[in-house]
């Protein structure tokens, strides 16, 4: 059987089951493992020597939390991350993740609806980690992200997207043509339906799915190599069915 691609509903269901009494994971645990996988993906494709300055773009939800964790790990690995988070999440977990980044002396651009600071940050960066919208995203794209996505897309910088490229429909992909077109995608838990149309380098991360869950949902996950937190998926050829 082939690797299973998830609908938004099924992805949400698996997340809830992981954090239920049966799954016994906390949100902190899942976010830490997901963010570590994101950092490892970026470091695998874009070396610290050639791409040291990483602009980590975070949304206000769990996707942004993954980005904050990734920023911390990238900082620990010798990269120079900067965080752009115009609408910081107000939950305690985001405050703690932000404090951890502050303690690593990772700069954060002051929150603003004005994207001029984003434009300046892009000019000083080598690669973008897109952790803005996750699988729960529903259009339309609202301010300030509606003007931010075109800025990021036109920057000419390589982009690594977390779980689903920002602006994409989780099941239909970039059907509206408004989302980012990243060079690299790191899917978490299992790829989402919309990622079937993604043509770049595609990795899978989130080494927290239990054997019981994998079998229950027939995920058919590939084997992770050694102690790596990520595994690269085969490139999808034009016209190939998944």
Distance (Å, whole) CA 11 – CA 135: 8
SS3 71: helix
Task: Tell me the pTM.
Answer: 0.95
**Is 140 marked as binding a ligand?**
yes
26 is in an annotated binding site: no
pLDDT tens sequence across 28-68? 999 999 999 999 999 999 999 999 999 999 998 999 999 99
Annotated binding-site residue? 167: no
* Residue 235 marked ligand-binding: no
139 annotated as a binding-site residue: yes
Check the annotation: does 197 bind a ligand: no
Query: Is 146 annotated among the ligand-binding residues?
Result: no
- Angle, to 10 degrees, between the axis of helix 92-103 and the axis of helix 27-45? 40
Q: Which domains does the chain have, with CATH numbers?
A: 8-232 (3.40.50.10260)
CA 140, chain centre distance (Å): 19
pLDDT over 60 (residue 90): yes
136 is an annotated ligand-binding site residue: yes
Is 60 known to sit in a ligand binding site? no
Residue-wise pLDDT for 97-147, tens only, equals 999 999 999 999 988 878 899 999 999 999 999 999 988 887 788 889 999
135 is in an annotated binding site: yes
Six-digit token string for 195: 């990622």
Q: Is 163 annotated as a binding residue?
A: yes
């Amino acid at each position: 059987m082939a690797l299973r691609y998830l609908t938004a509903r099924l992805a949400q269901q698996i997340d809830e089951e992981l954090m239920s009494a049966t799954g016994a994971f906390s949100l902190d645990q899942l976010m830490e493992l997901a963010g570590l996988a994101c950092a490892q993906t970026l470091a695998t494709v874009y070396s610290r020597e050639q791409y040291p300055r990483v602009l980590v773009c975070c949304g206000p939800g769990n996707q942004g939390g993954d980005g904050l964790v990734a920023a911390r790990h990238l900082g620990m690995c010798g990269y120079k991350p900067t965080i752009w988070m115009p609408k910081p999440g107000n939950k305690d977990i985001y405050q703690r993740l932000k404090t951890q980044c502050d303690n690593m002396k990772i700069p954060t651009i002051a929150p603003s609806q004005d994207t001029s600071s984003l434009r300046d940050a892009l000019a000083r960066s080598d690669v973008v980690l897109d952790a803005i919208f996750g699988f729960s995203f529903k259009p339309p794209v609202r301010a300030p992200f509606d003007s931010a996505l075109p800025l990021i897309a036109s920057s000419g910088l390589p982009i690594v997207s977390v779980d689903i490229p920002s602006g994409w429909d989780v099941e239909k992909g970039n059907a509206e043509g408004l989302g980012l077109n990243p060079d690299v995608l790191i899917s978490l838990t299992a790829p989402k339906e919309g990622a079937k149309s993604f043509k770049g380098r595609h990795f899978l991360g989130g080494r927290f799915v239990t054997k019981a869950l994998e079998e229950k949902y027939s995920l058919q996950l590939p084997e992770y190599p050694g102690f790596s937190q990520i595994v690269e998926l085969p490139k999808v050829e034009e016209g190939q069915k998944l």
